[in-house]
């Protein structure tokens, strides 16, 4: 069940604990129970591309951490999600209420999951 979806700026900064070069891009983000999916395009485009085997990047929220990350970017309104597997994502919007809604939605989703 989809809980929230929309566009944010996204940068993946670590994969399995290994630092990546920061590369901000617009992403269509879909939050559902226990996971977030990042699509490169709009959901409509993504769904039509699925025929060609396109899969979104999927983030497992079990045991994940979310925190504001002012010091990780020159941009405003940035928070970070860190997964158990050591993947790190920054998410950002210039619009205050949009990023606040997302922060609380993801935090609530994480807090509702079993801790072990
Ligand atoms: C990065 C790019 C990012 C910037 C980052 C730069 O340069 O300008 O937008 O992050 O800053 O290193 P490049 O494209 O050459 O990799 P912010 O926009 O979040 O500040 P950083 O190195 O301080 O993270």
The model's pLDDT over 43-76, given as tens digits with 9 standing for 90+, comes to 677 667 666 677 789 999 999 999 999 999 999 9
The secondary structure of residue 54, as a DSSP letter, is -
- Give me the pLDDT at residue 33, please: 86
Distance separating alpha carbons of residues 66 and 112, to the nearest angstrom: 13
- Ligand 1 centroid to residue 92 C-alpha, Å: 13
pLDDT-above-70 percentage for the chain: 92
- Ligand 1 centroid to residue 74 C-alpha, Å: 8
Q: Can you give the C-alpha Rg of the chain in angstroms?
A: 14
Q: What is the mean pLDDT of residues 38-47?
A: 76
- Give me the pLDDT at residue 56, please: 85
pLDDT in tens, 73-109: 999 999 999 999 999 999 999 999 999 999 999 999 9
**35 neighbors 59 (Cβ within 8 angstroms):** yes
Check if 21 has its Cβ closer than 6 Å to any atom of ligand 1: yes
- Give me the pLDDT at residue 55, please: 79
**40 neighbors 52 (Cβ within 8 angstroms):** no
Give which of 34, 33, 32 is closest to 43, Cα–Cα. 32
């Amino acid at each position: 069940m989809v809980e929230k979806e929309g566009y944010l700026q996204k940068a993946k900064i670590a994969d399995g604990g290994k630092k990546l070069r920061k590369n901000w891009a617009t992403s269509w983000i879909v939050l559902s129970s226990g996971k977030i999916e990042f699509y490169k395009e709009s959901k409509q485009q993504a769904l039509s591309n699925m025929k060609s085997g396109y899969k979104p990047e999927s983030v497992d929220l079990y045991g994940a951490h979310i925190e504001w990350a002012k010091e990780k970017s020159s941009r405003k309104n940035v928070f970070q999600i860190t997964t158990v597997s050591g993947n790190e994502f920054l998410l950002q919007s210039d619009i205050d209420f949009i990023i606040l809604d997302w922060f609380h939605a993801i935090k609530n989703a994480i807090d509702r999951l079993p801790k072990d």
